[in-house]
Amino acid sequence: SHQLTLDLNTVNQWLRLSESNRVITQAKKKQRYPDHPDRFEYWLQVLCRESVCGRCYWEVEWSGTRVFISVSYKSISRKGRGDECGFGSNDQSWSLICFPNEYSFRHNNNEDRLPVKPINHRIGVFVDHSAGTLSFYSVSDTMSLIHTVQTTFTQLLYAGFNVVNNRSSSLYFSLHDIDTAAELLSWK
């Protein structure tokens, strides 16, 4: 299995990383990260360093009032506060948005509220790059599909996270072997 690690050159200065950079929360004060062209200047976002290639599965535990669990092309803009930089607000990125009482899905600034209950704080993300599949699962004792997208990915994908503007929101993420996902989802 390969690891999913955060690209420290992309992390917004209002995000704090802890627990060996596995947990992302909003900082109480601006962090002193060095200037870098890859850093998200306005949006409270971070991308992972490794691309998501082939078939890949990872899990995210979230808390708070609004978090974005995303995949994005590396070519997404970093500077300024426009839609071209925000996960899900452009054609470069796809986001599951988790609220305490609902999920929604956003791509290219089109947002669909998803009629899925109950809300689970553990989310599984599955990507099959060549098949153009992106799926989000609610993970508890069982896995249930929240939303799936069928598209054509034209570039490598990277996992990304946004904790929006809320100090109570946090994310913990971990990558799983694709074998684990296959077992969980009974793929043959």
159 phi/psi in degrees, rounded to 5: -70, 140
* Structure confidence at residue 65 (pLDDT): 86
Q: Give bridge partners of residue 56 from the DSSP assignment.
A: 127
Report residue 176's pLDDT band, with 50, 70 and 90 as the boundaries.
Answer: low
Mean pLDDT for 3-26 is 90
Q: Report the C-alpha gap between 130 and 170 in whole angstroms.
A: 31
* Structure confidence at residue 20 (pLDDT): 85
* Structure confidence at residue 142 (pLDDT): 87
Q: Is the pLDDT of residue 79 over 70?
A: yes
Q: How far is CA 131 from CA 3, 56, 176, in A?
A: 22, 12, 20
Mean pLDDT for 114-127 is 92
Percent of the chain's residues with pLDDT above 90:
64
Q: Is the pLDDT of residue 106 over 90?
A: yes
* Structure confidence at residue 147 (pLDDT): 97
CATH of domain 15-52+63-119+152-174: 2.60.120.920
